[in-house]
Amino acid sequence: MMTNNLSELVAWRHHFHQHPEVSNFEFETTAYIKQLLSSWGVRLVPTTLTTGVIAEVGDASKGPTIALRADIDALPITEATGATYTSVNTGVMHACGHDFHQTALLGSAFELKQNEAELQGLIRFIFQPAEETHTGADDVIAAGHIDDVQAIVGFHNKPDLQVGEVGILKGGLMAAVDQFKVTFTGIGTHAAMPQLGNDPIVALSTTISTLQTIVARNVDPQQTAVVSVTHIAGGSTWNVLPESAWFEGTIRTFTNETRALSKQRFYDIVNGQAQAFGLKVVIDWSKGPDVTENDPVLTEIVSDETSKFLKVVKPAPSNAGEDFATFSQKIPGVFVFFGSHGTADWHHPDFDVDDAALPLAVEWYTRIATRLLREI
């Protein structure tokens, strides 16, 4: 039987880090997790999920059912950390630290399995696929894995918190995410004869600038929002005005009101600009995760238990989105930031976590799960 010591945790984490897989393609990751869990006798729950692992310890007849969730996918980023365990999958990298999350949950599954007879209820481990594409939580829910769950808990590593610090906040911790793509279509022509066509490039640049007024002039200054255009494309050479051009990006907000207002202003501005320039416009709007909202009662319990062995700090909410929100809209949930003293921020080619935080995260999952079974 394996023991749950630091060197073993580090070995698992480095294995995941070296073999990252993008959303919905976490096949080897899934196999590795299943193999470890099975070797400890942890029950694997049958699932219709293609990737990801659902497992359980405990007994639902003895008390409540709770879920511990970790995400397992990586990102299409080329790693630049220079670590000895650098990704061997070209162009794919664990740049969000999900290798850390799944390792901590594995360690906790091992520990909880050792104490299974004493558990006052059932603990379900959700190794969730496809967080980065914000579809995995929906798939786990559709597969029925939280139908009987009374509370769900998860965390994200936080590079700017020290090892031993945990950021806990009641209410909104991470932002609602909306994604947009706008395509302007006019009439292509020679660059030297713009009067013969209808140029989408100038309209696009004016529109992108004007969209910044949503935050500067529409959103309440006491609220927060981000409007980022991240990708623009149009034309193919220097002396031709193209027929069409497009841009895409994202909006992040922390309340439903700000979210609705930002979307309305976005449509008003884009449609208004298209009309002003006499262009056709298509807006593709994709609604991402809602605000990651922490249940006040559960948050109190989690905060109290955490403060017994770690330093609880009040974090600033993050404008990143997190599809844990999809779970915590359905059932009470708590999501926290776990100090990982990172070398760079999330999604950066230099990103990595401090392995010293691993045993703390294992203990955190274990203690929170055990306490929640007794108290909810």
- Stretch binding Zn ion (CB under 5 A), from 96-104, 245-253, 262-270, 274-282: 96-104
Q: Should residue 325 be labelled a site residue for Zn ion when binding is judged by CB under 5 A?
A: no
Is 156 marked as a binding-site residue? yes
Q: Which is nearer to Zn ion, 75 or 122 (CB)?
A: 75
Q: Among residues 265 and 341, whose Cβ is nearest to Zn ion? A: 341
44: which residues sit within 8 A by CB, 6+ positions away? 34, 37, 38, 53, 54, 55
**Token duo for residue 32:** 């590795």
Please check whether residue 333 is in contact with residue 154, taking contact to mean a CB–CB distance below 8 angstroms: yes
Q: Could you tell me how far CA 109 lies from the centroid of its own chain?
A: 22
Nearer to Zn ion, 94 or 367 (CB): 94
Query: Alpha helices of 278-321 — where are they, by DSSP H?
Result: 296-307
Residues 23-42 that bind Zn ion (CB under 5 A): none
Toward Zn ion, which CB reaches closer, 243 or 354?
354
Which CB atom, from 75 or from 362, has the smaller least distance to Zn ion? 75
The full length of the chain comes to 376
Q: How far is the CB of 32 from Zn ion (least distance, A)?
A: 19
- Say whether 180 sits in a helix, a strand or coil: strand
Interface region with Zn ion, contact rule CB under 5 A, candidates 93-101, 117-125, 147-155, 173-181: 93-101
CB closer to Zn ion out of 22 and 281: 22
Total interface residues for Zn ion by CB under 5 A = 1
Whether 347 has a binding-site annotation, put simply, is yes
Based on the shown chain and the rule CB under 5 A, indicate whether residue 96 belongs to the binding site for Zn ion: yes
User: Closest separation between CB of residue 187 and Zn ion, Å?
Assistant: 41
Tell me which stretch binds Zn ion (CB under 5 A): 90-98, 146-154, 218-226, 227-235.
90-98
Number of C-beta neighbours around residue 152 at 10 A: 25
Q: CA 80 to CA 86: how far, in whole Å?
A: 8
Nearer to Zn ion, 301 or 334 (CB): 334
Q: Is the Cβ of residue 231 or residue 280 nearer to Zn ion in the bound state?
A: 231
Please, which residues have CB within 8 angstroms of residue 350's CB and are 6 or more apart in sequence? 80, 81, 343, 344
Q: Is 96 annotated as a binding residue?
A: yes
Closest CA to 50 of 109, 130, 106: 130
Report the first-to-last Cα separation within the chain, whole angstroms.
Answer: 32
Least distance between Zn ion and beta carbon 100 (Å): 10
What's the closest the beta carbon of residue 101 comes to Zn ion, in angstroms?
A: 8
* Residue 42: CB minimum distance to Zn ion, A: 24
213 close to 149: Cβ distance less than 8 angstroms = no
CB 305, min distance to Zn ion, A: 23
Q: Do 323 and 136 touch, CB atoms closer than 8 A?
A: yes
User: DSSP letter at 46?
Assistant: P
* Contact present, 263 and 214 (Cβ < 8 Å): no
Q: Kindly state whether residue 93 participates in binding Zn ion, applying the rule CB under 5 A.
A: no
Select the span of 22-30, 88-96, 108-116, 277-285 touching Zn ion (CB under 5 A). Answer: 88-96
Cα separation, 152 vs 124, whole angstroms: 9
Is 363 part of any known ligand binding site? no
Give least dist CB 132 to Zn ion, A: 5
* Nearest distance from C-beta of residue 131 to Zn ion, angstroms: 6
* Residue 115 φ then ψ, to 5°: -110, 25
Residue 356's identity, in one-letter code, is: A
CB of 97 to Zn ion, least distance (A): 6
Q: Candidates 82-90, 95-103, 177-185, 218-226 — which segment interacts with Zn ion by CB under 5 A?
A: 95-103
What residues pair up with 122 in beta bridges, in sequence order? 58, 65
Q: Which of residues 334-363 bind Zn ion (CB under 5 A)?
A: none
Q: What is the DSSP string of 7-33?
A: HHHHHHHHHHHHS--BTT--HHHHHHH
DSSP 8-state assignment for residue 219 = S
Which amino acids are annotated as binding site, given as ranges?
Answer: 96, 98, 132, 156, 347
Q: Which residues bind Zn ion (CB under 5 A)?
A: 96
Which amino acids are annotated as binding site for Mn(2+), given as ranges?
Answer: 96, 98, 132, 156, 347
